[in-house]
Amino acid sequence: MITEATRRRFAELEELVTDSSAPDGRWLVLTHDNPDPDALASASVLARLLRQGFGQRVTCAYGGIIGRAENREMVRILKLEFSHLRHLSFSNYSRFALVDTQPRTGNNQLPEEVTPDLVFDHHPLRKATRSVPFFDVRTEYGATATFLSEYLAAAEVEPTRALATAVVYAIRSETQDFRRESAGPDKKLYDEFLPLITKRDLAKIQFSRQPLEYFRTLHQALENLHSVDTLVVSHLTAVEQPDIVPEIADLLLRLEGKTWSLVTGLFDDRVYLSIRTTNIRADAGRIMRKLVNRDGKGGGHGMIAGGWVAITDRFADDPRKLQETLARRLAKELSKDPAKLQPLELEPPG
């Protein structure tokens, strides 16, 4: 499946990549920090497009950690080729691409002085992206991997079974099995790729084993629930990896009577936070940017958003106060009384 928009953009991409006056050298395809399935699949698709479609040399890389068990299994089982940036030097690359992220968003490791050649994303267009030679930002898509896979078809490059499996899992993960922010093209491409996948590998990824620490963190999250009206909040102490924060935010949104969830957690010198909502008319990304203000970075789209705030000297002795401040900001933003944000106790039956 190839949309007309992709046909047009592919011709532009081909011209840019194969331009004889462009720098000759290796590409660095970079995801956002702590990459999720969409970022991992998108980078892998773009790498195959550049290699097989245009004969380019490519390295895929990420910053942060691949934390969630499902994401680690995705990379391991499908043998996705990724390097951590600590093992690389930017000076060894002459061309750069960002996937599922954009320049100067604070969630990727591309130096601010470097303007990438390519940007592919499905989050709202950022000002810095407008100066990029080629960018394709489609907020109407549920996953970046979806429209990047259309580029593969335009280049007449077939996906491998592993790559098709990665894309299918990315779409399912990003749209929560089409329960949120999914458009027609996502489902159409999903149906097209589904016969190509290895179903056993997909099952192993989806039902990956979890370490005991996962259940400890989940227990802590449930023991620290707070709520006001339709908003549920949980604050975590230090977490082993930031990815657990959005995972629990997704889980809490399933609580009966709640339409908004906020989860925060401490990692290194930052408070990571995730917002989720069932409100299809919401703009969680805008709200997240207001929450973090100038103290950190944040963004998102529609029903999901994430970000971080630096723990300054003011909160160094008690980061919990910063977490509570962020929760009160969100309650106020949602026209709820912050003073009524009270503990939500899990009482035993009977």
Q: Over the stretch 211-236, which tens digit does the pLDDT of each residue have?
A: 999 999 999 999 999 999 999 999 99
**DSSP state for residue 282 in the 8-state scheme:** -
Q: How many residues does the chain have?
A: 350
152: closest CA among 333, 350, 10, 314?
10
Show Cβ contacts of residue 179 under 8 Å, excluding neighbours closer than 6 positions: none
Dump pLDDT digits (tens) for 18-43: 987 777 789 999 999 999 999 999 99
pLDDT at 24 (0 to 100): 79
Dump pLDDT digits (tens) for 151-185: 999 999 999 999 999 999 999 999 888 877 666 88
Structural contact between residues 290 and 333, judged by C-beta atoms closer than 8 angstroms = yes
Read off the amino acid at residue 144: T
For the segment 39-58, the average pLDDT, to the nearest whole number, is 97
The pLDDT-based confidence of 93 (bands split at 50, 70, 90) is very high
Q: What crossing angle do the helices spanning 37-48 and 144-154 adopt, rounded to 10°?
A: 10
240: closest CA among 272, 208, 275?
272
For the segment 245-251, the average pLDDT, to the nearest whole number, is 95
Is residue 72 scored above 80 in pLDDT? yes
3-state helix, strand, coil in the chain (%, to 5): 45, 20, 40
**DSSP state for residue 86 in the 8-state scheme:** G
pTM: 0.90
Q: Identify the structural domains of the chain with CATH numbers, from first to last.
A: 4-206 (3.90.1640.10), 214-343 (3.10.310.40)
88: closest CA among 68, 111, 72?
111
What are the tokens at 340? 């009524």
* Phi, psi of 297, deg, nearest 5: -135, 145
pLDDT at 179 (0 to 100): 78
